[in-house]
Structure 1
């Protein structure tokens, strides 16, 4: 097994003005572009509803930040809604309740089976932080067996993938199913022994800092053989290092699970022009995207095409082809 992926330590948790964000509510689905008086692709206009994750997670903040940037630089009117996560987003896109959303590809497959969603672009590499109380003395995945532990909320794509990874290792915690905020409260109140958080980058996460302030934490370390076993079940998994000192309770480097399969997706019925416009505005503003979303640093259209695990929307494919990237025909939905 090769060395773990080492990612640069990003800044503190993002702060964002979320005036754009609209929590809940069905604001549309598969909007067609309006005619623009000035013409030209940059004038494509439409009202879009997008769905991301629970409002207390980085994914929701990333959604609000990235969609705000795209809205600012285009004629699109975009709302950001919270959800349980990837599986719910996939179902809502498939049903035409929202136009775009953040999905974990495998989570979408779990939710929809032979789904018909299409990719626009990846959002980042993500990694798991498996938190456990320092007072449990748990250090490895095997130590989670039988512990009352939270893998995530029902409907979250990462929840099922986390459970599948532990099952591949023969580990079965006594699962507690709750959103991140409730899990942190349950951890502080000693109702559970820990919880899983999957997010972008290796920066300290606010929810884990909050948990550690009331009860010291440890992070579960995956040995090389653990990673190899999980990869047999899920080849997309890669090892990633969380640097020691990211949390004051955890002085040593921790090897954990990483994954490239989290993307911004749309239903194929979304207008080709709108899909093109969203994709184009993301990439044409990538420097500012990097400033707002540190986990996208180093991401290029070429990397995106190499890493995408879902076929492209025709509108997105048109943008990539305009950049001189050869797109195999079977990679277009």
Structure 2
């Protein structure tokens, strides 16, 4: 009998030890889901298609992240403003980019978002993402109205550039039915189609300048189609994340005059379920301390620093980012 009691007592102690070990190794969030602890071993980064600056920047960030998180692998995925937010909310992506006008839609659960997203936080606001309508220099297109009967690539279906384009057409009493055709394709492939004469215009919500259009401007010659004041005002009334923006003459070498359009800020976000405070603190620190590295990739990052990020913040700041910004005095 004593032997049975001894075995039983040993078993109970082992179970209790196991429970204690499990409690020490994990914690739960308010909704009962496990909270992140430490940097994930695999970080999937929601970026964008090849040819845009998001893809270039995420690649450079991935290399630096390997130094900050040596036990972690970083995988870049060709996502988009909407799909990245969905991936972050679902725990598919650990971090990702989105546009300033898309983040409020996700938070409020409107337009492309069937439900409110509340488990995604901001790390840094980086630079303005500018709406482009690009045509060949010898094109007869000079306004949005001139796109009637023309074949256009609005980028990838459901991406922020296409969604903005649909709104712009609506404000000009147009729809896709008024165009000569739609070609859903990424920035780099769209540039090839424009060069070869297979499409008449490319639409995108991307950095200004972006290398793909700079190369196209050098080899082919391009023009940017402006938005009129009524369209710009209408976009802002639809979504305050759309801000009036001027692409200064010389941004693309053959585009000498200023071009009026709209922009939304590019935002770096993380999944609250996958990225804890210390990990995001280190990520934010890396973003700010490597600002010169990012600026060498494109002049769009020349104004980025901690103060810029805080001033133009979109969405709720992650506690790890907030901790870093307060530590260096950028956030009171």
Instruction: Classify the TM-score, shorter chain.
Output: 0.7 to 0.9
Matches of residues 123-202 of structure 1 in structure 2 within 5 Å?
123-173=126-176, 174=179, 175-200=182-207, 202=208
Aligned residues: 285
1:122 counterpart residue number: 125
The separation in 1 between residues aligned to 2:170 and 2:127, in whole angstroms, is 26
Post-superposition CA distance 1:134-156 (Å, at most 9, x none): 45421122222443211110242
- Specify the alignment match of 2:28 in structure 1: none
Q: Normalised by the size of structure 2, how large is the TM-score?
A: 0.75
SS of 2:155's partner is coil
User: Which deviates further from its counterpart, 155-164 or 242-251?
Assistant: 242-251
Cα 1:91–1:236 shift into 2, 3 Å: closer
- The more displaced of 105-114 and 298-307 is 105-114
Q: Deviations over 1:112-171 (max 9, x none)?
A: 341122100012112122112445421122222443211110242232123223323333
Alignment match, 2:243: 238
RMSD between superposed Cα atoms in Å: 2.8
Q: Are the aligned partners of 1:144 and 1:172 in contact in 2 as well (CA < 8 Å)?
A: no
Listed as ranges, the matches of 1:24-173 within 5 Å are 32-33=37-38, 46-73=41-68, 75=70, 77-107=72-102, 109=106, 110-112=111-113, 113-116=115-118, 117-173=120-176
Judged with a 3 Å threshold, the aligned counterparts in structure 2 of structure 1 residues 292 and 182 are, in CA distance, closer, same or farther, namely closer
Q: In terms of Rg, which structure is larger?
A: 2
Cα distance in 2 for residues equivalent to 1:236 and 1:316: 22
Q: Secondary structure at the match of 2:102?
A: helix
List runs of 5+ in structure 2 lacking aligned partners.
1-34
How far 1:266 moved relative to its partner? 0.9
Indicate the residue corresponding to 2:291 in structure 1. Answer: 286
What residue number does 1:203 align with?
A: 209
SS in 1 for 2:295: helix
| Offset, 1:204 | 5.7
Aligned to 1:20: none
Relative to structure 1, the CA distance from residue 210 to residue 302 in structure 2 (aligned partners, 3 Å threshold; closer, same or farther) is closer
Is 1:268 matched with 2:272?
Answer: yes
Q: Is the 8 A contact 2:44 2:77 kept in 1?
A: no
- Quote the Cα distance in structure 2 between the aligned partners of 1:284 and 1:212: 33
Tell me the TM-score normalized by structure 1: 0.74
1:33-62 superposed Cα distances (whole Å, 9 cap, x missing partner)? 26xxxxxxxxxx854221211123221011
1:203-222 deviation per Cα after TM superposition (whole angstroms, max 9, x unaligned): 363246337745x5331012
Match of 2:313 in 1: 308
